[in-house]
């Protein structure tokens, strides 16, 4: 009996003083609960991500692909039209550069025009000089005629 009492006192003392077994049990319970809740939360998160991915693949991806295809076709058409215009402009410039005969003729015409204007200016000056001389001769003639007339008028 004494052994039993000593044993019971030892058990009581270990329970009152040594909390390790109780704490270990509580820690195991906490870890188990934490892992279960965490696993449930992660499972819910993964299910939500899977649903979002599926919705995106089923609805958004085809719509985006179709829209992208339409916009790319439109952009390609516009780029081809722009490229065609650029090629035409480049061809015209190349033709203009290659056609040096037209440029030479244009330069010759400009030179001829300058010479024509110089000749016209020179001719104008000659005509002006002849006009001044003619006016001078006519003035002298009329002055002579006036003198003659004055001579005869005094009679």
Tens digit of each residue's pLDDT (9 = 90 or more) over 112-151: 999 999 999 999 999 999 999 999 999 999 998 888 888 8
Weakly modelled stretches of the chain, pLDDT under 50: none
Q: Vertex 22, ends 18 and 27: CA angle to 5°? A: 125
**Contacts of 44-49 spanning 24+ positions with Cβ under 8 A:** none
Which residues, at least 6 apart from 22, have a Cβ–Cβ distance to it below 8 Å?
A: 15
Q: What integer pLDDT is reported at residue 31 of this predicted model? A: 76
Q: Which H helix or E strand runs over 107?
A: helix 100-153
User: Exposed e or buried b for every residue in 36-49, given b needs 16+ CB within 10 A?
Assistant: eeeeeeeeeeeeee
Q: What integer pLDDT is reported at residue 117 of this predicted model? A: 95
For 18, phi then psi, to 5°, come to -100, 105
User: Exposed e or buried b for every residue in 101-117, given b needs 16+ CB within 10 A?
Assistant: eeeeeeeeeeeeeeeee
Q: What integer pLDDT is reported at residue 155 of this predicted model? A: 58
Which residues, at least 6 apart from 4, have a Cβ–Cβ distance to it below 8 Å?
A: none
Q: What integer pLDDT is reported at residue 18 of this predicted model? A: 67
DSSP assigned state of 104: H
Q: What integer pLDDT is reported at residue 154 of this predicted model? A: 66
DSSP states of 14-54? HHHH--HHHHHHHHHHHHHHHHHHHHHHHHHHHHHHHHHHH
Q: What integer pLDDT is reported at residue 108 of this predicted model? A: 92
């Amino acid at each position: 009996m004494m052994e039993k009492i000593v044993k019971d006192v030892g058990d009581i003392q270990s329970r009152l003083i040594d909390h390790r077994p109780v704490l270990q049990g509580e820690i195991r319970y906490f870890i188990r609960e934490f892992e279960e809740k965490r696993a449930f939360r992660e499972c819910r998160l993964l299910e939500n991500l899977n649903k979002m991915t599926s919705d995106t693949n089923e609805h958004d991806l085809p719509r985006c692909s179709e829209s992208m295809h339409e916009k790319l076709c439109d952009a390609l058409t516009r780029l081809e039209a722009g490229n065609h215009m650029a090629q035409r402009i480049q061809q015209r410039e190349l033709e203009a550069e290659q056609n040096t005969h037209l440029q030479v003729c244009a330069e010759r015409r400009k030179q001829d025009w300058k010479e024509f204007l110089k000749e016209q200016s020179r001719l104008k000056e000659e005509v002006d000089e002849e006009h001044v001389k003619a006016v001078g001769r006519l003035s002298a003639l009329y002055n002579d005629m006036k003198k003659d007339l004055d001579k005869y008028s005094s009679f």
